[in-house]
Structures are given as C-alpha cells and as structure tokens.
Structure 1
Amino acid sequence: MELRKFIKQLRRYQKGTTNETEKAIIEAWYDSYEGENEKQVLSAEERERVRNAIHANISESIHINKSTPSLWFNYRIAASVLLLCSLSSLIYFLLRPATPVPETYTTLRTLNGEVRKLTLPDSSVIWLNAQSQVRIPSNFDKDIRQVYLDEGEAFFEVKHNTHKPFRVVTAPLQVQVLGTSFNINAYHSLPHVKITVVTGKVGVSKGAKLLSFLTLGHELTYVTNKGTFEKKEVDASQSQSWKDGDTYLNRVKFEELSLVFKNLYGLTLKAGNQRVHDYLFSLRIKRDMPASETLKLISAIHNAHFRKEGTNVIIY
C-alpha cells in the first residue's frame, strides 16, 4: 500500500472514521507484530490505550506546514518511520505474555523420634509422624485447600467447608474431602501407600481416575509398582495411635518393621537370614519404651536373637 494513503487511513482510524475494510487492514497490521507469541485479543480498554498512543505519536511526529510543501514530504517520511517503530514497541509491550509468579510453600519436616502438630489457616490440623515432610502452598485457602505430603505419614483433622474441598497430594495419589479425619502412610521406602478413614468420607484418585470412596473404618492400600489397590475394614483407631505414642503393627513384613524401628530409635534393623526376612510381625511399640526392650519383644515373637553392630541391629 502507498505510504501516503496508509498514513491517511491511520489518521481516520484515530478519529474513528474508518470504514470496516480500512479498520480491518489497520488491525491486521497490528497483529503482524505479535511475532512468535500466541495471538491475543485486545480488550476494549487496551484498544483505547493503543488508539491514544497512535494519536499522541501522530500529533507529535507530523507537523503540517502548508507554507513549505518541500519539507512536508520529508516530515511525512520521518514521521512514518518513527510512528512504525513506536507502535511496534507499544504493541509488543501490551501483548507480551505475563511473567508467571512462582508458587511459594511453607515446609514442615520431622526427624527420627519426632511427632509434630501443625494448625492450618482454616483451623484444620495435621499431625506429622517421624521422618516425614508436608508442604502448604501460600494460596492454600483459596478455591481448593491443597497440601502436599511429600514423604512419610500424617494424620489429618479437616475443618468442614462445603465450598472449599480439602485435597492431599501424595505421589501417586490424591485424597479429597470436605471435612473428615484420616491417616495417610506414604513412606517412599515402602512398596505401598495406605489411606485409612477415621471419621467421615474421602475420595481417593490417581490422576483423573477415581479409585474409590472410603468411609469410617475402611482402609485402601495402593501397590505403587503394580498400580493395583485393595480395600478392607480395619480398626481405624490404631491407624492414628502413633501420634499418641503407640504404634500398632498387624502382620507387617520385615521392611515395615525396620522402618518403624528406625523412625523411633534411629537404628537400622537387618535380617540375619532369609527366614527372619520372611517373618510377619504383629505387635505394639510404645514410643517411650527403650530400644533394648523393643528388641527383646521383637525377638521373642519368633524366638529369634539380636546383636548390635554400630547403628545396625541384626535379627537372626
């Protein structure tokens, strides 16, 4: 298009007197400066800002001097170049993608033998077992009250709110409730994740797939490497008794017994032979019981023996 004609169209555009064809041509010219960014539609307010900027640039850059026609042509060329550069910069500034604000978290961790209690902004309560970590995002109390159990075991007492569901994310599962209490055991060293409901009702999902709803006294065990799960009825009170100092183990494998023992005492249990490794263990371990007394209790279950080697304890 001839430059002189295009500038006239720009003047009519700033005054709002262009016809539909001219308006479409000029706005298509605006769009050509979006580069590699996705096309974005200007709001009415943003269009007004662009129109005002055009008006300001034309008013400042084009000075009509009818007594010097020879200079007028040079002024028009210079003003057109300046106008193109100014508009390009302005449109890029208005349409550039917004820089996302990174999410921030409050992180709580526990050590061996440590149990901690955390009260959330909505008055919900989290009890965190030993060697565990939970993260609470800065925007926790928005449409969905979401927390992350990154490692370990936690008991949740959720304040009821029908308008804001409460969600716990613990790889690879999500647990969502409105108001209830439940326990999640998700230590990375174990091959499973266990979710036990003490009061109310929870929904357990993996990604977008709902696995099951759980109610009082029901427990879901998800086998991580197989992607399978099973439900059963349990004594729900035992699943949360660890926060009061008692840990109940019901026919657990040696790996889980070793994890609990290390969380309590900082010592590592090792099976001295395959027979001990294959045993199942059922017992109650009290937090205030000395490690030596607990070892005697463990050994007596299968008439085994133990010896200590540094921070390791061998059961044989």
Structure 2
Amino acid sequence: MNLNKQQELLSKYLQGTATPEESAWVEKWYCSFDSLQPASSEQPIDQAVGEVMMSGILKKIRRGKVIQLWQQVGSAAAILLIVLFGSWYYYQLNSSDSPITYSYITAAPGQHIKVLLPDSSTLWLNEQTTVRYTKSSFGEKAREIWLEEGEAYFEVKPNKQLPFIVNSGPLKTRVLGTAFNIKKAASYDEVQVSVTHGRVAVSTAGRSLAHLTRGNQLTYHKSSGQSTTRPINPAYTTAWQQGSVELQNASFQELSEAFYSLYNTRLKAGKKEIEEHTYTITLARSQPQAQAVAVIAAIHELSYTIENGTIELY
C-alpha cells in the first residue's frame, strides 16, 4: 500500500470514519511496531504521514510503543515529532480555561479613596469612580488599568520594562513613570488627560493623539473623535484631591477647570467679556455648589442659570 493510501486510512481512523476492514488494517499496522527493527536514521518519511503519526501518538499509543515508533520513523520524522509535540506542550502550559479575573475599586458618592497598587504605584479615586485591573498578574506580566467611570489620579512607580497603561473609554494612556489625572464623566462627551509631572503618550484605536508633558492637557470628544491639547495649571485640574483650591487672578478657563474638578459641573460663559475677566477666589468642596456659584457671580455682578448639568454665567 502506498503512502498516500496509508495517510488516508490513518486520517479516517483517527476521525472515526473508517470501515471495519480499514480499522482492522490500521490496528494491525499499529501492533506491528512491537516487532519492527529500528530503521536507519537516513530513511526518509513523508511529512504529512509524520503529522498523522503525531496525532495518533497523542490520542492512541501507549508510552511503551512511543520509543519503538521513534526508532522506526527515522530522523526526519523525529525532528517533526519534536516540533509538533513541543508546540502542543507549550500551548497546554500557557493556556487556561479559567477566565481572567479583575479587582474592582469603587468610590461612592462623597467618598475619595487612596489605593496602593501591587506594583507600589499610588492611585486616588474621586467620588463616583470605578476602576478595575487584572487580579493575579498586575505588576508581574503587565500593569494595565481600566477607568470605567469617573476621575482618577495616578502616581506611577517607574519601570522601563513594564509600561503602565490606563484605558479610559476610547483612550489609551501609556507611561513608564509619572503622575497624571484622567477624567471620564458620564454627563459629558469628553475624556481629559492632564499631566502634573513626567510624560505620557495618549492614543485611540492604535492612532497616536499626543505626547503630553507637565502642565498640558488633552481633551478628547467621544462623539466626533477629535482631540485638542492646551496648557493648564495642574493644581486646578487636580483640586479634587486636596478638597480646595486657591485661585489668584485666574482666567475664566482656569476657574472653570477648578470648578469642574471640585463639583463635576461645567461653568459656561454666556458673554464674551466674561471670558476676559480674572477671578481671585478660594473654592472648597465642603462649600455647597450653589453657594460657590453665587460667590463667583457676585465677583463681577453676574447672573447665572443651571441647566442640563451646566452653569451659564451671563
């Protein structure tokens, strides 16, 4: 019987589609290995037949006959068997049916949490914020966190071999060691990344958006996919950590950033001249939002309205 016919019968036998006569031939062929003498190492064997033999070894053959088959097939098949078995064994060692498990951390309304991560990096969570990270491998195989919702500040322990990655919706922020703030509020169509020191790389869907350094902020609009960068005062964008912030001759944009940090509510200028005003004021989270707005409006004798989560001064 030629090799092609042998290969066909072996395949059918392993798939369970062989006839009784064909199965008897394969089993007779299988048993013949007990009586075969070792062949010359120079004897070639077809690669396809070798692959079928390998499959048969893993499924059918007892340990005692593997050695005799090894001697029989010669060096070409021996090399092939090593490669195939090695690949299978590596796969078995590195695959698992167990699903990936995550650790979740949530800061409830009015709560602020400081967390020491397994790699000794420090994480602060603003209220109503949830993050997750891989429970078993963080700091060993990877350092990756998902900001599900809210705002978090990171102080990352340097590790050049293991980048620290934060996923915040469509954005991926990658660092080696630095401090930065990410805000992803459900009520606004934007994700903000602000750097207080060091450098971060921000991307989306594999497309680089910016490399940010200290005192710079990227704002990404989820609906349009557009992003802008601009300089900021880090103290204003991270005011929520300290619970208060003191503004000295701050621009309206800086005031708006500090207010957003403390109250998760945007300030909007209803008139152009309002954006040209400066503001000297101390804002504290312990102060009710309505009271803080009233004080801001009184500085320049302004009025205001509150609608759809935005406060407009006019």
**Does residue 293 of structure 1 match 2:291?**
yes
Query: What is the correspondence of 1:254-293 to structure 2 with a 5 Å cutoff?
Result: 285-291=283-289, 293=291
- Higher RCO (Cα < 8 Å, 6 or more apart): 1
Match of 1:221 in 2: 219
Match of 1:150 in 2: 148
CA displacement 1:173-214 (0-9 Å, x = unmatched): 011111110111111211221111111111111121221111
Within the candidate set 33, 52, 67, 1:28 is matched to: 52
SS in 2 for 1:238: helix
Match of 2:70 in 1: none
Query: What is the correspondence of 1:1-316 to structure 2 with a 5 Å cutoff?
Result: 2-3=21-22, 4-13=24-33, 28=52, 47=57, 50-52=60-62, 100-138=97-135, 139-246=137-244, 251=252, 285-291=283-289, 293-300=291-298, 303-304=302-303
Percent identical pairs in the alignment equals: 28
- Going from structure 1 to structure 2, the CA distance change for 1:315 and 1:211 (only over 3 Å counts) comes to closer
**Counterparts of 1:161 and 1:253, CA distance in 2:** 33
- Going from structure 1 to structure 2, the CA distance change for 1:13 and 1:297 (only over 3 Å counts) comes to farther
Q: TM-score, normalised by structure 1?
A: 0.64
**Counterparts of 1:233 and 1:258, CA distance in 2:** 17
**Counterparts of 2:179 and 2:143, CA distance in 1:** 15
- Going from structure 1 to structure 2, the CA distance change for 1:306 and 1:48 (only over 3 Å counts) comes to closer
Q: CA RMSD in A?
A: 4.4
SS in 1 for 2:32: helix
Match of 1:71 in 2: none
C-alpha displacement at 1:254, in angstroms?
Answer: 12
C-alpha displacement at 1:161, in angstroms?
Answer: 0.8
SS in 1 for 2:62: helix
C-alpha displacement at 1:216, in angstroms?
Answer: 1.5
SS in 1 for 2:61: helix
SS in 1 for 2:196: strand
CA displacement 1:194-238 (0-9 Å, x = unmatched): 111111111111121221111111211112211111222222232
Q: Extract unaligned runs of 5+ from structure 2.
A: 1-8, 10-20, 67-90
Match of 2:12 in 1: none
The residue identity in structure 1 corresponding to 2:194 is T
The residue identity in structure 1 corresponding to 2:111 is E
CA displacement 1:227-280 (0-9 Å, x = unmatched): 1112222222322232011257964599989966755xxxx9999xx959xx86
**Counterparts of 2:251 and 2:129, CA distance in 1:** 21
CA displacement 1:9-46 (0-9 Å, x = unmatched): 11234677688669955853886xxxxxxxxxx9xxxx
- Going from structure 1 to structure 2, the CA distance change for 1:100 and 1:286 (only over 3 Å counts) comes to same
**Counterparts of 1:314 and 1:251, CA distance in 2:** 12
**Counterparts of 1:269 and 1:217, CA distance in 2:** 20
- Going from structure 1 to structure 2, the CA distance change for 1:12 and 1:172 (only over 3 Å counts) comes to same
Q: TM-score, normalised by structure 2?
A: 0.64
- Going from structure 1 to structure 2, the CA distance change for 1:290 and 1:7 (only over 3 Å counts) comes to closer
CA displacement 1:152-186 (0-9 Å, x = unmatched): 11110000111111000101101111111011111
C-alpha displacement at 1:119, in angstroms?
Answer: 0.7
**Counterparts of 2:45 and 2:58, CA distance in 1:** 19
The residue identity in structure 2 corresponding to 1:6 is V
